[in-house]
Amino acid sequence: MKFPYISLLAAAFIIACGDGDSDSFLVRGDSDSYSGEEDDLSSSSVYSSSSSERRSSSSLTDWLDTIPHIPPCRDDYEDNCKYGTLVDERDGQEYKTVYIGEQIWMAENLKYVSENSECYNDILEKCDVYGRLYPWADAMDACPSGWHLPSLDEWKILYTYAGGIKTSASKLRATDVWTCSGCKGTDDYGFSVLPAGAYRDMHSAFWDINATGYFWTSTDYDSGGEYVYNMCFDYRDELIDGRSLKTENTFSVRCLKN
């Protein structure tokens, strides 16, 4: 049983996604908000779906330049996004899916009960709303047949479709549930990112529900498999924060169709 970590500091402010176990990786618009070398999409090499593969800065820029920005498909008055339904044959769980560009994503967090997955603060009702939290080893095998845990590059494609790393976070977040100041999204693409929080091994605590959403990628940071890249949405309106964190943390999973 894990118990919530209680501190006056935690009550005083929200911990940003950048507070983690390893060096920063992906872009932040505010270089003062983290420690580590700033690394944006046009200035360095990055990992693809395997840590042994790297794209050069020029090839990465050329590659992302070929991906079109997709106009929003929904607003406060109309919803013209293309949705589908995924039924997980393992447990009968039904999920809403959404087409964004050439990708088909789950539009909800995964709820499949794997061996080491858990609900936030061990409260089963949280799983009904936010899905389950998975350690990385479980996350790698948790998606239904025909779907997979997306790589870091596949997440980059998604937020490039949504207008780029500096404007896409709020467009991908859900319009409700988020409680931090100014962090509710517009959900322009029906992706509906949920602030499910996490169990952060470094803090020995469940962390930041309703204010932060962490998602595993399949891209490992080191060949030893101790650190893996995740995508994180937090209180910063225009930022998605990619970072390497320990595999023992438990984060949300969004599956991508093969």
CA distance 129 to 1: 21
Report if pTM > 0.85: no
What was the pLDDT predicted at 187? 96
CA distance 101 to 50: 23
Q: Residue 86 above 80 pLDDT?
A: yes
Specify if 245 maps to a domain. Answer: yes
Specify if 12 maps to a domain. Answer: no
The confidence band for 45, taking pLDDT boundaries of 50, 70 and 90, is: very low
Specify if 215 maps to a domain. Answer: yes
Specify if 30 maps to a domain. Answer: no
Please give the DSSP secondary-structure letter assigned to residue 114.
-
Percent of the chain with pLDDT over 90: 54
CA distance 180 to 242: 20
| Residue range(s) defining the domain that contains residue 84 | 39-257
Specify if 46 maps to a domain. Answer: yes
Q: Residue 216 above 50 pLDDT?
A: yes
Mean pLDDT of the chain: 79
The residue-averaged pLDDT of 230-244 equals: 73
Q: How many CB atoms lie within 10 A of CB 237?
A: 16
Specify if 22 maps to a domain. Answer: no
CA distance 112 to 142: 7
Specify if 190 maps to a domain. Answer: yes
**Higher-confidence position of 44 and 94:** 94
Residues shown for the chain: 258
| Total number of domains in the chain | 1
